[in-house]
Structure 1
């Protein structure tokens, strides 16, 4: 009879170890130290995984704090690349994440030929760790040309493995034996089998699930050997010897079927007890640096411990058993569903408006706002085959080694059957991804920092002296302002976001208050190392050399010479009058030669327009003349400023436009009684000669941030043919906020498709993961 060991384990297991400052290097402290640095994960939700030449690869990126299980806001720089079938990088771009989310796209242009490619996303911070946590997804490009990849026509091959639970079997000790079988494409196939001893007597029988995995209980006897006869698809038969049991040791069997607890059954044999009387074992249950611990001893050949799931960690937990010498003996992964909240997405068709369909969507279970993305495809689509959804990517992938076939399957509409199959998967995965040799060895050092923007540095060479600051002209993501120089006329700007093709411009101000062009160099620092995907990772993925679709793209599938058009701008012959979009009573003054000759400095112009201006020792004070005396709200290149010293001796030569509204109507309560003044620096030359470049030094970064584009639907000639129904795209909604208080609306183009499927991924405010597949009949 099993000896149930509950009270002592639970009493000790309630304490966690998180300090690594003690001299004694305990298992707990070594483990906590290895996970001191936070680990971030990335998931890219793609609009689909098979593309035609001429389409776009659209994606939404989610950054995740693995330890705290929350959206990660630490990194803003997301590097995304496209790689060929051998793992060579062919494209790379830098995308900006805001509040843990990023979005972007790649054009499927002439760079691509028919075949297999990979999209990979990573951060600089991930380089600190031996365990590569980058996101990788296989994609297929379909063109009218034939794929240059060869089909492997070798004879069918099967890889069958026996995987004892915990790591090994022990003679005369009961255990579970997991098994899995893979075909030459790395996919599981259904099998059944019988285990015989050397006397051809039946010892056990087993049968797999549809993914080629299963388990059976086994009690190996001393002096016997065992072989299994395995039938594959009721046709092929192979034989496979079971692993040789150890003469001494312990085994574990996990029961993870109850909703509120798990039970771990430990077994050993009499020889082990006789040689190791009073031997103590330590059990660690851990996840991403969090751990709980207990110790136990055998007082018979069997021991059972029961643990409440509420005391463990949400998601994948790892059980590791150590001996008294800190040697890891057994390891087992299991999924703890306690605390995992399942989303309940409701989507309703509201109306059809001309060529669009309007939907309402809300979340009914999490009671928290959420950020989601939606791919809308025909119901019959074959173009969406992600290796992970957001749940399997963040709950499963960080803990297991290698590729998991059809990982999303276990997390879509999880029921008892899927919980059982997920447990078999984790049993057959063996030991976790984190190697204890690494954990006991050198710890991650964090030399690769969290990247937030790029670093811009420079030095003014002309004039050689007398310049203590330069003027940074406004960019798309940064307001204009002065940058201080050190004694060597050098500067450094951190966290700068410059987009592709955008120029960063600098001027200096001479003693007359005029902007002049400095002679200077500018450097940009941002991670841009060319990399590749290792062949080990590629070979681990099934069908890595698969052919593309078994059909021909019709010649008229896309409209001839169709392409996305830029917005057409109609230029009038008459000068357009600027109108402030907010201020109701604004007076707008565009500065030309007449205004420049009339007002030397911008403060002269402000004073002329009814304000009291005082300038002393570099400081500027501006207030109203009427009672009560108040200070105006001032914007400088659309950035609100509280320190007006930037206006000291600022020549109107450098000003292009000033907007003044003394009432401040439109600005709201922020304006107070002082009104609003908006000042815009010059972007065009005051005098009609040259292009204004004599006022500044400008340069572009060779590798900068890619600005996200607005989604546009591919220009298919027909939405009724088979190719569209299998491989076409209907819509992509990368950014949608689900408000717990009210449904959100979104609109898609009406392709007259009878039924559509929505692939929804996202994260709630408190870290709950959302992944749902919704099929809706729209007509």
Structure 2
């Protein structure tokens, strides 16, 4: 795309455009853009769900699309996707770790029947995406209704009505390019903060500091408007808006005495850019750069001493999406920036869904569909798709809601979230939509990087892409001061036979096994020591410390906006039907049982309280006589297990009879020798002493008597050690057994996605008395269009008649996002 300009006209000087030898800044920026797109490109995730809202007890079926954030094709970095379901208290209630070697990964969440109703957040990311702010993670709000509560339809917006609010509007003013400049005509966008598609209009006017009215404005959809202003030197300006019985004053940004103004517009064929300045040196030695998602689109260096220039950029050299235009002054500083949305008027793709026969479809009848994705020449385009079929009598899809096209091309590249983004991608009133979308571009900024940081520093990547599951750690001397050491290691998988690998650590004792790709859970034995391949292996002087799992990314408090807009919502009918389906499924599945109604009260808790809850889960909620939380003691490095328990009331440490070394000690708890456990497994005192302090999360001391309630035959008391590696969560390993030179544990694999169930009436009794009332009639996350073959799918209708919406989302192999809908009628 770079340097493919066909026509650029300098109107004021009437000079033909020519490329010139550019400055060091231009070379630097183009090199950085090349580095960004070729090596350090971001990743994007989009998730399609089978429907927009759910009832407790149902399933959330989803498909995660993972792409290169620049080309929107398959990423060559990550193969591991994390998906989390987060409640209104910003706590993760369920998560999935998915593996994909293609472009998408299906998954699901089974919602507990006692789940509290509310607005939940679906969050998805890769480890590599953590190099940028969490704002770049994919996030989708989903409404979930409690199983045993009514539905308040006031929670749903009615898009046929304009919301009324007594609150004063919060207006922002955005001069085109960034600044008001005295003596130069400026276009200024107006935006009501957090306004949606149907925001109430606001009427106002602009006046100067002497009270002279200059112009007026009126906001449209999305709370957007604009006006033109040519500021005079030394004057200040303000906007006046009447709210109720009072006028609200909004100061406008102070005009600069001298500076640069960048005005842009878009014709059918060209992007037109006008740059004007009132600086004495004019535009000499300035630079204009344009890019789309980091791909260099054009660059131009002005060598003439002009006060204004006009450039035309042919659209045929641009791709659909956000164009970021940045102007650098003579000091190589970015002083003006403007976003434009490049919309290709010519329809590049068409998606069709056809029934194989024209015969009407009745209840419990087979439905055969053909799906095609074709270009403008009628050629099939290889694509990956996911499809859902939902009952539109109960679930009213919001035609303006987010989809894969609006996310990849629009929202994922902008600061702030555009509500109802698909409004701009539907036919009808195109002139107005073009104007509104341009105002959206003026009031949002490019968010992937800031030019000041981008042009100065190479982007550091702290978090690396994941291509599988790794087992990492270090080997440590079993004796004080427990320093890391070189060792031989052997890894054994214990599932469906034995698989072994060997590896020597580096000089720092570090080892890393992987990547491994497996589902569910697998048993692992890891050994370390000397001469492991011989008959006289020595494990006694070596301990193993597994690397702790990465902490979950921080969860930012979410705005609790309802995730969809409804016209005449029949939510109560949907909820009653969903409840009936859940009850029916339990009734016909002997492996399930209906849970009693549970009332749950949740409050925000501190990190310390959360950690204590996690500890109690590991100890099965039995209250210890005394608990040692190692990190709270401020001990580091060489602290010994014996030092940790030495000051516990009731514990006495002394020499054994005929002790020969400092290791020959005995521990008494209330006069008796206690039993020792590590992560629930009984060990010897020497085994317990071999665990480094840095490996221990906490220690529970259970006195004589009540200890036996939790540990069989331990009535003389218990000292229970809980290691950091033994903590569950986030795919962490579960320690089963530990002794000198070896450790065995269960390692969580990737989530094994369930298959969507729908009756197959070619095998099942079509006259079965069991009702079939699916709200999601069909879900298929793995539909493939080949270059020489379309896709065919088959499923059976349910007992419901009426209209069903077919929702298709996906992406072509060349990175073009796809969203299409069709209707299916059951008579």
Question: Could you state the TM-score of these two structures normalised by the residue count of structure 2?
Answer: 0.64
Instruction: List per-residue Cα deviations over 1:489-509 (Å, max 9, x = no partner).
Output: 99853121232234457999x
Counterpart of 1:318 in structure 2 is 324
The 5 A counterparts of 1:751-770 are 751=798, 752-770=800-818
| Aligned 8 A contact 1:63 1:72 in 2 | yes
**Pairwise CA distance, 1:533:** 2.1
1:112 to 1:375, Cα distance in 2 relative to 1, 3 A: same
CA contact (8 A) 2:46 2:64 kept: yes
**Corresponding residue for residue 453 of structure 2:** 438
Following the alignment from structure 1 to structure 2, what is the Cα–Cα distance between the partners of residues 192 and 468?
A: 74
Worse overlay, 759-768 or 376-385: 376-385
1:768 Cα deviation from its structure 2 partner:
1.5
CA distance in 2, matches of 1:67, 1:174: 35
C-alpha distance in 2 between matches for 1:542 and 1:40: 26
Candidates 173, 187, 192, aligned match of 1:181: 192
Is 1:367 matched with 2:372?
A: no
Aligned to 2:354: 348
Q: Output the CA distance in 1 between the equivalents of 2:342 and 2:197.
A: 28
- 2:675 aligned partner: none
The CA deviation string for residues 1-43 of structure 1, in whole angstroms up to 9 with x for no partner, is 9825797656359x9x9xxxx9999444455556641211111
Instruction: Give the Cα separation in 1 of the matches to 2:103 and 2:170.
Output: 40
Alignment of 1:503-542 (within 5 A): 503=523, 528-535=550-557, 538-539=558-559, 542=561
Task: Please identify, of 738-747 and 389-398, the stretch whose mean Cα deviation from structure 2 is larger.
Answer: 738-747
**Aligned CA distance change for structure 1 residues 283 and 113 (closer, same or farther; 3 Å):** same
Partners in 1 of 2:313 and 2:769 — Cα distance? 57
What is residue 715 of structure 2 aligned with on the other side? none
The residue correspondences of 1:578-617 to structure 2 (distance < 5 A) are: none
Match of 1:3 in 2: 11
CA pair 562-204 structure 1, distance change in 2 beyond 3 A:
same
2:57 to 30, 34, 54: 54
Change in Cα spacing, 1:188 to 1:32, as seen in structure 2 (3 Å) is: farther
User: CA distance change for structure 1 residues 716 and 280 in 2, over 3 Å: closer, same or farther?
Assistant: farther
Q: How does 1:678-717 map to 2 (within 5 A)?
A: 701-712=746-757
Contact 1:456–1:522 (CA under 8 A) maintained in structure 2: no
Structure 1 distance, partners of 2:523, 2:446, is: 51
Contact 1:331 1:431 in 2 (8 A): no
User: Cα RMSD over matched residues?
Assistant: 4.8
> Shift in Å at residue 115 of structure 1?
0.5
Q: Which residue of 1 aligns with 2:783?
A: 736
| 8 Å contact from structure 1 (residues 362, 740) kept in 2 | no
Residue segments in structure 1 that go unaligned for 5+ positions in a row = 462-466, 512-517, 569-696
Note closer, same or farther for the CA distance 1:157–1:200 as it changes in structure 2 (3 Å cut). closer
Once the two structures are overlaid, the 10-residue window that deviates more, 249-258 or 86-95, is: 86-95
**1:282 paired to 2:287:** yes
2: CA distance, partners of 1:356 / 1:709? 23
Q: In structure 1, how many angstroms separate the alpha carbons of the residues matched to 2:303 and 2:408? A: 35
Distance 2:133 2:461 in 1: 12
In 2: Cα distance, 1:131 partner to 1:256 partner:
33
Q: CA deviation at 1:473?
A: 6.0
1:173 and 1:151 map into 2 onto residues whose CA distance is: 47
Match of 2:466 in 1: 451
Query: How far does the alpha carbon of each residue in 1:91-121 deviate from its partner, in whole angstroms, 9 at most, with x for none?
Result: 2221111212111001111463011110111
Counterpart of 2:287 in 1: which secondary structure? strand
SS of residue paired to 1:446: coil
Q: Which string of whole-angstrom CA distances, capped at 9 and with x for unpartnered residues, describes residues 360-407 of structure 1?
A: 211132632111001212235546569631122222233211221112
Cα pair 2:286 2:328 within 8 Å, conserved = yes
Cα distance, 1:254 vs structure 2: 0.7
Q: CA 1:557–1:91 in structure 2 vs 1: closer, same or farther (change >3 Å)?
A: same
**Contact kept in structure 2, 1:128 and 1:444, CA below 8 Å:** no
Shift of 1:528: 4.8
Q: Structure 1 residues 480 and 758, CA, compared in 2 at 3 Å: closer, same or farther? A: farther
| Aligned position for 1:501 | 521
Which of 86, 90, 95 is the aligned partner of 2:93?
90
Please point out which of 308, 311, 323 is paired with 1:305.
311
Residues 165, 185 of structure 1: alpha-carbon distance in 2 compared, 3 angstrom cutoff? closer
1:60-75 equivalence runs, <5 A: 60-75=63-78
Which residue of structure 1 lines up, in the alignment, with residue 254 of structure 2?
A: 244
- Which residue in 1 is equivalent to 2:222? 211
- Following TM superposition, by how much is the alpha carbon of 1:61 offset from its aligned partner in structure 2, in angstroms? 0.8
Q: Secondary structure at the match of 1:81?
A: strand
Q: Which residue of 2 aligns with 1:357?
A: 367
2:274 matched to which residue of 1? Answer: 265
SS at match of 2:776: coil
Partner of 2:626: none
1:396 has 2:396 as partner: no
Whole-Å separation in 2 of the counterparts to 1:204 and 1:245: 17
The equivalent residue for 2:336 is: 330
Q: Distance in 2 between matches of 1:276 and 1:481?
A: 73
Preserved contact between residue 94 and residue 705 of structure 1 (Cα < 8 Å)? yes
- For residue 145 of structure 1, what is the aligned residue in structure 2? 149
**Count of residue pairs the alignment pairs up:** 620
Counterparts of 2:223 and 2:55, CA distance in 1: 33
- Aligned-residue offset at 1:440: 4.0
Maintained 8 Å contact 1:46/1:59: yes
Q: Give the equivalent residue in structure 2 for 1:169.
A: 180
Cα displacement (A) at 1:229? 4.4
CA contact (8 A) 1:71 1:763 kept: no
Deviates more, 1:143-152 or 1:211-220: 143-152
| Rounded Cα–Cα distance in structure 2 between residues aligned with 1:412 and 1:68 | 24
